[in-house]
Structure 1
C-alpha cells in the first residue's frame, strides 16, 4: 500500500459487479433498494473485507467461496466512507469468490451519487398537465459509493452489469446498450438490463432514467463493419436543441479514432442533457452527461456564444472516452492526465472543425490567462499534486489540472510537433488500454515517438508549483533574458525560486532577420546576440507558459507594431502587461498606454483581452472615486470607435467572431456611459418586455439587460427577474441571472441575494448570481456582509456538494483589493470546519493581498496619468 495515500486494503480486488436497483420510490422518502454481486480476486486469506459505502445501509452481506458465509458484523467508518464486513471464518485466496450485498440508498438532490433535480425537469409537451423528474448519476470523483457499495478507487477497475426497475413509460440509459427489457412483477413497472461494460473505474459507471427522447446520427466511419449510433437525449420537448451537439459528436468520434489510432471502443455513444449538474459535464463511458447549457443549442433563440461552449464541451468529454476512460490515471494525484489532455485535444478538435473561430487565440485569451491567474499565487499547487485520499480530490478539479495542464501540453506539442506528439499519445494509449497509467508512462510514449527524453525537460512543469517570468534587458544588438518565478504579490523568496524551467523562447523577428537564438532557455539566464532592434518578440504565438517582461520602450514599440503580431501574440502581450502591473514588475500606466494603441482593433478575442485586463484594473481601484471615474471614461473612449463602427445590426453573412465582438462592445460602451448605446438599449428593452420579442436580438440580451438594470433600476430588475422565472430558453435563465447582478442599490442587492439563495434558483446556478454581484463594485462589499449574516443557510444549502460551495466562495470573494477585507475573511472562517474549501480560502487570501499591495503602490500614479490626459480631475 503506497505510504502517500489512504486506500482500501489490497487483500481483495473486484473484477466484476452485477448491480440490480429496484423498489425506487419516485416521491418522498426517495429511497431505493439494491443488490450488488461482486466477483472478487482474494489475494490473501481474509476474515474482514473493507469497501466504500457512504449514506447507504447494508442489510445483508454474504460471501460465496467453497461455501456461503454470511457476515457476522457490518461496521461503518463515516469519516473514511467505508464499511467493513466481518465473517465468522476465513476466506482462502481465490479468483472465484462472490460477495453479495443487499442495501438501501437515497436518491438525493445534491448532484452527487444517484440523484434527482431539485425541481421538475422540462414539462412534457405530450401531456401538458404532467411533469416528470429525471434521474441521473454523478460518480466522479468518489461518489459511486453513495449509490452502491463498491471499491471506489480509480485503479480498482472491473466490468459492470446493470439492471434497473423503472416505470413502464420511462426510458433507462446506461454505459452500454440495452440488453433486455421485461415486465416487472409489480404493476406499471419494467426491468431494463444492459450489456456488460468493458473493464473500467467505478467513477465512470452511470445510469439515468426519465421521460426522454432523442435525436440520432451515425459515425461516418465503420467500426466492426457498422456505423455507430450517436444520440443526444433530452427530456421531452427539447430534443431538437440537441442537433448542434449531435453534429459535432459523430465527427469528433471519427476524428479521435483516427488521431489516437484506436477505434472508439464502445458500440454506442449517448449524450444526455441533465437539468441540474454540479460540473459542466461528465465523461461516463458511453453515456456522457451534461448540464443543459453545455449540450443544447437553439438555432433561433440561443446566444451565439453558446455555440462555442457546446462544441468544445462535447469534444472534451468525448476525448475522455480514450484519455481517462480507456486509459485511466493510477491515482487522483495524476488527475491532470485525464483533464489536461482532454482540454487541449478538445480545443484541437474544434480548431479542425471550425478553423474560422480562431480557437488558439481563444485558448490563449481564456484558458492560459485563467491558468496564469490561479498559478501566480502562493496557494497554487503543482499540476501533479499529492492527494492523500479521494475525499480531497474535488479541490484539484481546478484551473491548474485543466487549464495549466492543457497549456503545458500545448507547449510540449508545439516543441515536438503536433503529429509527433499525437503519435506518442497513440503509443501511450495502446500500451495501457483498459488499465491505469502514470505521468511517466505518458513521457515514455512521447519519448518513443520523438526520440527525445521528454521527461528530462518537461517534468518540472508537472511536479513544481508556479511558472516563470522572463525578464528582458536590451543592449545594442543583443538582449539578455533571465527567468524567475512569478507571483502577483511580487515578493518571491529565494527558496521559492529554485526551479530552472525549460522555456521555449520562440523568438519572432522581422522577416529575413531571424537571429541564431537558442530554441529554449535551460538556465536561469543567457544572452542572445544578433537581435534586430527594429522588431522582435519572444514566445511566438504564446505557446510557452510564461510571462515576458519587456523594457517599457520595447513594450510601447510592440504596441505600435501590433500589425506584425499574431492574434495570440497580441493577447499575450496585453495579458502579460496587466499581470506585471499587478506584481510591480511593470506599471499600470504602461499597461494603459499599451491599451490605447488597440482602439482600432477589429478582432473579438483581442478586444476580449483588452476589456478583461481593463476590468481587472478598474476592479482594484474601484473604491477610489476619482480613479474609478477616470478609468470608466478611459474605457468609454477606448471602445467608442469600434462600437459605433459595428452598430447594432447583425448581418447573416458576418463571421461568428464579429457577432461576438458587437455584443461585447455594446455591453462595455453602455456600461461605461455611452449615451447613444444606453438610449438604444433602453428602447429595445422596453419593446422586448412589452411583448415585441423581435425587437431584441438574442445575442444582445445580456448586454441590453445589464445596461437597463444599471440605468433603470427596479422596474428593469423586476422584469428580468420575471424573465428568469418564466423563460423556456435554455440559456435565457443563465443570462438573466448574470444580468440581475448589475443592481445599483443596497435594497435590490439584498433582494437578489435572497432570490438566488432561495429555491427559485437551482443550486448549480447560485454561483452565477453571486459572481455577478461580486463583479459589481456597488455591491461587492455588501455581498460579503450578506454571506456572513446568512452563513448557516449558505453552508447548509451549498455544502452538500463541496464542489458547489468551493466555487461559490471563489467567485464571491476574489474581487477585493482591501487588506481589511482579507483580514475579515480570515477571521470569519477561523475555527470553522473548512474542509472541502480550505484551499479556496488560501487562494482568495493571496489574491486579495496581492491586489491590496498593487492598489497602494500604483494608485497615485494611475490618478496622475488619468488626470494628465483629461480623464480625471
Structure 2
C-alpha cells in the first residue's frame, strides 16, 4: 500500500454504529478460566447489548463466586433461554476473546474457506450480507469468536461435520466484545470436544452493515454521473488493510489466518462489479444481477477486494498471456494507458525477478475518486487514488508521471512479496512495504532507465527514512505490535523508506546475484504461506554464505542510524573512522548504540563494527569518500582536511556521490554535528552543477533552513531569500520556461525545480512571467502554463496577489478535469500573503467543495507559508472539534493524523513545543499519539538549531551584502 493524505466527502450516517453503543453501554471484564476435560469455564461481570439496534439481546449474569460454588455461569438469552459459556482450552486467552501477547483470536478453530454474498444499496448506503465459513476445529471450545466491527449480526448458526446444529435453534447466540476488541462470539449449545478436533464445521451468519464515509472497510465514493446531468452518484469500494475487513464482514482478520474465498455481489444490472478473481457466472433477475467470482487462492483477509460502480476499461496482455485491465471513470479510459503499459511490463519483470509467474489469471487496476491511501495491492484488483493512476500527456506534470509508474510498480511487486508470501504478523510490515518500495524502484530502473531513479532514491526514500529515524521517538524497522489497533502507527517512513534502504544496503553488500538467488528461494519456499524476517535472512544467508542475521539485526531491531565521522591524518597516512547515533536534536554522548556499517571505500575494510577504528588512508588517487553509491543508511562527517580534499575532487565523483556530499552537509549541520555556515560555503562548489537531484538536495537544505528561521529578524529572512535567488535565477535563465525537443528527462525535472525555487524566492522577473502566463490561462489559453510549472505558478500568483487571485484559483479548481490539477490548485491555496487569505483557504478546506481525501493539502500549504504558519496552528486549536468531526474515524490512513503533523510540526520554539504537547495531550483522539510525539520532538530540534546557529548565520549573511 502507498500512503498519501486523503479522505472523502461526508454524507448522513444511516446504519447503526453498534460498536460504539456497546462500548458506551457495556463492559466485559473480570473473566477467568479453570481447566477441566481440556476446556476452561468462565466467570464474568455483566455485559448488556443495547436492544434498540438489533434483533438480538444478550445479558451475561454476574457470577463472581460461580467457580467456588460449583454453579455454572449462564448466558441469559432473549426470551428466557439460557446457555453455558465456556472458554477455549488455550491458556493464553485473556477475557472472552483475545489470546496471547499479540491479542490474537482464540486458536480453537481455523478458517479454511469463506462463501460471502453482499448486496450493497448505493442509495441508502447500507448492505446486507450472508456468510458461510468452513472451519477446522483445533481445540475444545464452547464458542467461536471472530472479528466484527460496525456490523449487526442477525443470525449465527454453527453446524458440525455431520451437519448437526451446535447452536440453539432459532436463536442467534451472539456476544459482542468491547470496542477495542472488535469481535463477536457465537455461543455453542453443544461444545466441540476432542472428538471434533480435526473435523471441518461451518459457521453461517447473516448481517448488515453501512457503506460508510470513512474510507475504510466497505465504503462509498462519490462521482459525477457520466451522462453530464450533474447528478452525484456513488460507488462501493473496499479498503481492508490493515484491519478493516472486519468492518465489512465477520472474519478472522489476521494476516496468518489465510483462507480461500468465493465472492458473490448482488448489484444493479447497469453497474460493473469487480473482485480479486474473474467472473464465474452472472445471474440476472430484473434490474439486478448476481455476479459470482472464481475461487481465490489462499490469502489473508486484508487482500480481499470488491468494487461496484460505473467504469470503462482498456486492456492488454503481458508477454506471458496475463490479461491486464485498467478501469477508469467513463470517458477517461485513455488516461489509464500509461499505467496499463507499465503494469504489463512490471508483471513480466517481477515474474522473471522472482522466478515465479504471476499466479492469478488476471490483473485489474481501478481509479477511485475517494481513496484514503495512495493505492492498495489487493490480489488481482489493485485500487488507486485517481491522481496516482490517470495520466494525460501534456496535462500531467512529468514528476507525476514518474510517481504513477512507481506506484504501479510498488503495488504489483506486492502480488509476490506480501500477497503470495505474507508476513506472519504486523510486526513484519516492513517486509511487505520496505521490499515493495525497493523493488518498485528497481522495476522503474529496468523499464525507464532514462529516469535515473537510483539517484532520485537517495533524495526520496533515503532522505525520508533518515529524517524520521533521526528522532528519539522513531521505532525499529521490525517493531513489536501487541494489538491490531497499533498497526496504523507504523505505516510510516520507517517501514517504507528505511525498510527499502536497508534492503538496498544489503543487496549492495551481498551482491546483486546472491541477493536475487536468496529472494527467489524465499518466495519458492513460502509461497501461499506466511513468513517472518528470520525466514528472509535464512534464505539470503544460504544464497550468499554470509551471516545475514548478524549483519542486519542492528538495522532492523534497533532504532536509529549512525553518523560516521572520518578524520584523516595525512602525515601518518591514516584515517580514523568512528560512529555514534545521529539525532536531530544534536549529539548525545549517552547514546551507545552501534551498527555494522558498510564503509564502501576502496582500500578500507568492508564494514566498521566497532565504535571507532583507524585504518591506512586509501592509495594515492583514491579520494576518501565514505558510502560510495550512497547505498548505506547513514550520514557522514569529514574533518577539515578530508572535506577539503573531497570538495576538490567533486567533479570526478559520480552524480549520486555528489548528491550524497551536499545532502550529508546540510543534514549534519541541521543537527549540530557540523556548522550550518560550512554547508552554505559548500554551495559555491555546486555552482555549475547540472544534476537535478543535486539541486533538489540544495533546495531542500536551504528550504529547511529558511523554514526554521521564519520568525527571525527580517534581515535574516531576506538574506536567505537573496541567496536562493542568486542560485536559481541563473538556473532559470539556463533552462528557460518552455520545454525543448532536446530535453532529457532530468532537464525537464530541473526546469520545474528551477522555476519553482525562483518563484519561491520572489525573483521579480520570474514572478512577472508567472503573472503573465496565469492571466492568459484565466483568459482561456489552456496551454499558457506548461503542466510541469502549474503548481509553482499558482502559488506565486496568489503570494503576489490577493483576494481576486484566490477566487480565481477556486474557479479553476471547480473547472479542473483531473485529480492532478485539483491537487496542484489545492497545494497552492495556502500561499496567500496575508493571514486573512490563509484563514479563507482553511475555511474553504472545510467545505463540501473539497474532497475529504484532500484535507491535508490546504492545511499543509498554509502551515508551510511563513505568514500562515502560526495562524494555521491557532486556527487548528480553535477548530479542533470541527476537524475531528470531519476528518476523524478513518482507518490506517486517517486524514486527522496527517492534519495533526501538518498543523504544527513546522513551528520552531520551545514554547510552541510545550503548547502542542499540552493541547494534544488533553485529547483522547486515538491514533495521533505517535504523530504528536514526533511533531513535538521535531519542533524542539528546530529550536535547538536556532540556539546554535542563529547568531552565526546572521553574521554570515550580513557579510555577503
- The TM-score bracket by the shorter chain reads over 0.9
Query: What is residue 380 of structure 1 aligned with on the other side?
Result: 474
Q: Secondary structure of 2:233's match?
A: coil
Query: What is residue 255 of structure 2 aligned with on the other side?
Result: 154
Query: What is residue 747 of structure 1 aligned with on the other side?
Result: 836
For residue 798 of structure 1, report the CA deviation from its aligned partner. 1.3
**In 2, are the aligned partners of 1:332 and 1:387 still within 8 Å (CA)?**
yes
Q: 2:126 aligns with which of 6, 26, 31?
A: 31
1:512-523 maps to which residues of 2 (within 5 A)?
Answer: 514=602, 516-523=603-610
Aligned equivalents of 1:851, 1:343: Cα separation in 2: 29
Q: 1:106 aligns with which of 210, 215, 227?
A: 210
1:563 aligns with 2:657: no
Aligned equivalents of 1:536, 1:453: Cα separation in 2: 28
> CA 1:532 to 1:123, structure 2 compared with 1: closer, same or farther past 3 Å?
farther
1:847 aligns with 2:938: yes
For residue 129 of structure 1, report the CA deviation from its aligned partner. 5.7
Deviation per CA, 1:385-435, whole angstroms, max 9, x where unpaired? 111111110110000000000000000001111121111011001101111
For residue 348 of structure 1, report the CA deviation from its aligned partner. 0.3
1:75 aligns with 2:175: yes
1:190 aligns with 2:289: yes
Query: What is residue 266 of structure 2 aligned with on the other side?
Result: 165
Aligned equivalents of 1:295, 1:673: Cα separation in 2: 33
> CA 1:640 to 1:599, structure 2 compared with 1: closer, same or farther past 3 Å?
farther
**In 2, are the aligned partners of 1:341 and 1:405 still within 8 Å (CA)?**
yes
Q: 1:61 aligns with which of 138, 146, 156?
A: 156
For residue 638 of structure 1, report the CA deviation from its aligned partner. 1.4
Query: What is residue 256 of structure 1 aligned with on the other side?
Result: 350
Deviation per CA, 1:344-374, whole angstroms, max 9, x where unpaired? 0000000011111110011001110111110
1:11 aligns with 2:111: no
Unaligned runs of 5+ in 1: 222-226, 508-513
Query: What is residue 818 of structure 2 aligned with on the other side?
Result: 729
1:499-510 maps to which residues of 2 (within 5 A)?
Answer: 500-507=594-601
Aligned equivalents of 2:920, 2:900: Cα separation in 1: 12
Aligned equivalents of 2:760, 2:643: Cα separation in 1: 29
**In 1, are the aligned partners of 2:311 and 2:329 still within 8 Å (CA)?**
yes
For residue 766 of structure 1, report the CA deviation from its aligned partner. 0.8
1:188-227 maps to which residues of 2 (within 5 A)?
Answer: 188-221=287-320, 227=321
Q: Secondary structure of 2:235's match?
A: coil
Aligned equivalents of 2:517, 2:809: Cα separation in 1: 51
**In 1, are the aligned partners of 2:587 and 2:672 still within 8 Å (CA)?**
no
Aligned equivalents of 1:757, 1:613: Cα separation in 2: 33
**In 2, are the aligned partners of 1:210 and 1:235 still within 8 Å (CA)?**
no
1:292-691 maps to which residues of 2 (within 5 A)?
Answer: 292-476=386-570, 477-494=573-590, 496-498=591-593, 500-507=594-601, 514=602, 516-531=603-618, 535-624=623-712, 625-691=714-780
Aligned equivalents of 1:491, 1:655: Cα separation in 2: 42
**What TM-score do the two structures reach when normalised by structure 2?**
0.87
For residue 128 of structure 1, report the CA deviation from its aligned partner. 4.5
Aligned equivalents of 1:316, 1:552: Cα separation in 2: 42
Query: What is residue 511 of structure 1 aligned with on the other side?
Result: none
For residue 491 of structure 1, report the CA deviation from its aligned partner. 4.2
For residue 565 of structure 1, report the CA deviation from its aligned partner. 1.9
Aligned equivalents of 1:129, 1:841: Cα separation in 2: 41
Deviation per CA, 1:297-341, whole angstroms, max 9, x where unpaired? 011311111111010000000000000000000000110010000
Deviation per CA, 1:233-252, whole angstroms, max 9, x where unpaired? 11211111000000110111
Aligned equivalents of 1:272, 1:801: Cα separation in 2: 21
**In 2, are the aligned partners of 1:58 and 1:102 still within 8 Å (CA)?**
yes
Q: Secondary structure of 2:818's match?
A: coil
Aligned equivalents of 2:842, 2:646: Cα separation in 1: 45
Aligned equivalents of 1:783, 1:557: Cα separation in 2: 46
Aligned equivalents of 2:661, 2:806: Cα separation in 1: 38
Quick one: higher RCO (CA 8 Å, sep 6+), 1 or 2?
2
1:830 aligns with 2:917: no
**In 2, are the aligned partners of 1:600 and 1:642 still within 8 Å (CA)?**
no
For residue 105 of structure 1, report the CA deviation from its aligned partner. 0.4
For residue 189 of structure 1, report the CA deviation from its aligned partner. 0.6
Q: Secondary structure of 1:673's match?
A: coil
Q: Secondary structure of 1:430's match?
A: helix
1:794-809 maps to which residues of 2 (within 5 A)?
Answer: 794-801=883-890, 803=893, 804-809=895-900
Aligned equivalents of 2:287, 2:694: Cα separation in 1: 58
For residue 559 of structure 1, report the CA deviation from its aligned partner. 3.4
Unaligned runs of 5+ in 2: 1-91, 93-98
Deviation per CA, 1:559-614, whole angstroms, max 9, x where unpaired? 34321222221222122111211221101101111123222211111111110111
1:817 aligns with 2:916: no
For residue 102 of structure 1, report the CA deviation from its aligned partner. 0.3
Query: What is residue 224 of structure 1 aligned with on the other side?
Result: none
Aligned equivalents of 1:493, 1:281: Cα separation in 2: 42
Q: 2:187 aligns with which of 83, 86, 111?
A: 86
Aligned equivalents of 2:647, 2:736: Cα separation in 1: 26
Query: What is residue 510 of structure 1 aligned with on the other side?
Result: none
> CA 1:129 to 1:563, structure 2 compared with 1: closer, same or farther past 3 Å?
same
Aligned equivalents of 1:532, 1:812: Cα separation in 2: 52
For residue 544 of structure 1, report the CA deviation from its aligned partner. 0.5
> CA 1:577 to 1:834, structure 2 compared with 1: closer, same or farther past 3 Å?
farther
Query: What is residue 244 of structure 2 aligned with on the other side?
Result: 143
> CA 1:215 to 1:122, structure 2 compared with 1: closer, same or farther past 3 Å?
farther
**In 1, are the aligned partners of 2:468 and 2:494 still within 8 Å (CA)?**
yes
> CA 1:706 to 1:557, structure 2 compared with 1: closer, same or farther past 3 Å?
farther
Aligned equivalents of 1:717, 1:571: Cα separation in 2: 37
**In 2, are the aligned partners of 1:596 and 1:638 still within 8 Å (CA)?**
no
Aligned residues: 849
Aligned equivalents of 2:755, 2:671: Cα separation in 1: 31
Aligned equivalents of 1:670, 1:25: Cα separation in 2: 49
Q: Bigger radius of gyration, 1 or 2? A: 2
Q: Secondary structure of 1:544's match?
A: coil
Aligned equivalents of 2:617, 2:917: Cα separation in 1: 52
Higher alpha-carbon deviation: 432-441 or 653-662: 653-662
Aligned equivalents of 1:566, 1:739: Cα separation in 2: 35
**In 1, are the aligned partners of 2:568 and 2:641 still within 8 Å (CA)?**
no
Aligned equivalents of 1:663, 1:172: Cα separation in 2: 41
